[in-house]
Amino acid sequence: MKQKFYIATAIVYSSKKPHIGNDYELVYADAIARFKRLSGYDVFFLTGTDEHGPKIEEIAEQAGITPQESADKITGMIRNTYDKLKISYDKFIRTTDDYHEQAVTKIFTKLYENGDIYKGFYEGVYCVPCESFYTPSQIEQSGICPDCGGKLIELREEAYLLKLSKYQNKLAQYIEENEDFLSPVHRKREIVNNFIKPGLQDLCVSRSTVKWGVPVEFDPDHVVYVWIDALTNYITALGYNPEKDMAQEELYSKYAPCDLHVIGKDIMRFHSIYMPVIWWGLGLEQPKQILGHPWLLTNDEKMSKSKGNVVYTDDLIDRFGVDAVRYYLLSVIPFDKDGSFTYENFVKKYNSDLANTLSNLVNRTIVMTEKYFGGVIPAPNGEQSPDDDLKKIAVAKAGNYAAFMNEYKVSDAIAQIVELLHRTNKYIDETEPWVLGNNPDNDKTKTERLATVLYNLLEAIRISAVMLIPIIPETSEKIFEQLGNENKANALFESIFEFGGLKSGGNINKIAPIYIRLDEKQVLKEIYGE
């Protein structure tokens, strides 16, 4: 039986079309999900949309449509973008799904009956875009939201509150004893030092002034607030409902608890404080790891419409292709530091890694195989000095790649692939196959040497193509198309750790180069109109 791996992203708020900075999370999680499938896991990949709350009410009213119609429209845009990005999710949940709403009412009631929720008043400051209440200790600048920079408003209303304070010590101890629960480590320190140590205050989990939401079952003047409505999607998507026998729910019994929550660093505290308390209140096992990923910035600033620096994913895909967009996002954002987007950097990365290094290597090797061996993959014969070095590096890079991917350090894993590609290009310069191919006397020694060189090139390309499957799947598919169907079946994860998995004797298929170098000046002129 395969080992299970349940991965979930945060669900996107259906108030506006996401931009490339938002969509990074999905591409990053998708790469991890695809890698886990490649390495033999039974993967369940969840994403979706958060569709309740005052912001959606407000947008719908401005547009003269119902909140549901507004959510449907934006969710349609989101799903379309995910499809264009080739996001391989297994389930897409919407918080307006009937089964989710029904489960949320029961979850809220259970928490209330257990004494983890009580009725009171909330009085303090509130951010409408973030749908967040803040305590004085959390506000760095008076009247300004610490997360989005928007204006905070004073608010007092009757509300149900979740007893975070009840779990203060338990949460602190749990985080301390479970080193991998919060990642990266500096995010863990931020949560502990900035939020837990100063003292947890009880959390508002209902609204009486908002109508677009899930009604509280025993008090219909209130609707369930986002933290219980949205956060519980990770269990309701698997069929969780307090009134059900979870042993009978196939998805829940198979995949819970979540192995990896992939979320933005800006919502880390909601998942690392509110979610564990809710899970304890329900008597559930905690997720194994919560990973707060960094942001993709534009010229070192967070993307926002107000700043005019938003770049939309659809536009990038239409201009450069889906794999080029995926590659850039996954390669330029480190595991624990923000990355940056500019069109200039995008084009440079495209030309350097995809056109010059990868595509040129594949195209040159395929052309030489066709020219010198009639398109038949030759069998290696003997070994010389550069061969052994290439083989050792290929196997070493494959091992490093796997280690980094298992640590979710995707950009570091990609660097290992690029280093192998560079070494393979160097191998061409070292062996000079065009010299070996210039063989008017049909010297058998030169022919055998040429066969070995081209086999080694094709095998290094095959190993690289396997490693690229989670990163740029369409490109990987095109590479295997050129290597022939016999070798597509051999694209096994285990095969990359030993040089020589490529099958000789099959026919390669010559196609157009996968990537053509871009004219940087022309591209930037088209974008900026200068």
End-to-end Cα separation, the chain, in angstroms:
59
The 8 Å CB, 24+ separation contacts for 315-319 are 316/20, 316/346, 317/84, 317/85
Q: How far apart are CA 524 and CA 243, in angstroms?
A: 58
Confidence at residue 124, expressed as pLDDT on a 0 to 100 scale: 75
Do 4-293 and 342-497 show the same overall fold? no
Of the candidates 255, 325, 184, the residue with the CA atom closest to the CA atom of residue 42 = 255
- Both structure tokens of 211: 């109508």
Alpha-carbon separation of residue 229 from 161, 215, 225, 347 (angstroms):
14, 10, 6, 41
Check whether domain 342-497 has CATH 1.10.730.10, yes or no: yes
Of the candidates 459, 129, 160, the residue with the CA atom closest to the CA atom of residue 267 = 129
DSSP state of 500: -
Output the CA torsion 136→137→140→143 (10° steps): -10
Confidence at residue 90, expressed as pLDDT on a 0 to 100 scale: 98
Return the amino acid letter for 293: H
Return the amino acid letter for 208: S
Angle, nearest 10°, between helix axes 385-406 and 410-431?
170
Confidence at residue 530, expressed as pLDDT on a 0 to 100 scale: 62
Bridge partners of residue 343, in order along the sequence? none
Per-residue pLDDT of the chain (530 residues; tens, 9 = 90+): 899 999 999 999 998 888 898 999 999 999 999 999 999 999 999 999 999 998 899 999 999 999 999 999 999 999 999 999 999 999 999 999 999 999 999 999 999 999 999 999 887 787 877 767 776 767 777 788 877 778 888 878 899 999 999 999 999 999 999 999 999 999 999 999 989 999 999 999 999 988 999 999 999 999 999 999 999 999 999 999 999 888 788 999 999 999 999 999 999 999 999 999 999 999 999 999 999 999 888 876 776 655 667 889 999 999 999 999 999 999 999 988 888 899 999 999 999 999 999 999 999 999 999 999 999 999 999 888 899 999 999 999 999 999 999 999 999 999 999 999 999 999 999 999 999 999 888 889 999 999 999 999 999 999 999 999 999 999 999 999 999 867 776 678 999 999 999 999 999 998 899 999 999 999 999 988 86
Contact 233, 13 (CB under 8 A): no
CATH architecture of 4-293: 3-Layer(aba) Sandwich (3.40)
Nearest-5° Cα angle at 442, 440 to 443: 115
Which residues, other chains included, contact 130 with Cβ-Cβ below 8 Å and sequence gap of 6+? 145, 147, 148, 150
DSSP state of 507: B
Of the candidates 31, 2, 6, the residue with the CA atom closest to the CA atom of residue 472 = 31
Return the amino acid letter for 44: F
Q: Say how many C-beta atoms besides its own lie within 10 A of residue 319's C-beta.
A: 15
Q: How far apart are CA 165 and CA 285, in angstroms?
A: 20
Q: Where are the domains of the chain?
A: 4-293, 342-497
Of the candidates 101, 114, 115, 88, the residue with the CA atom closest to the CA atom of residue 34 = 88
Bridge partners of residue 290, in order along the sequence? 182, 261
Which residues, other chains included, contact 70 with Cβ-Cβ below 8 Å and sequence gap of 6+? 14, 56, 59, 60, 63
Bridge partners of residue 296, in order along the sequence? 339
Q: How far apart are CA 233 and CA 239, in angstroms?
A: 10
Of the candidates 188, 191, 165, 190, the residue with the CA atom closest to the CA atom of residue 178 = 188
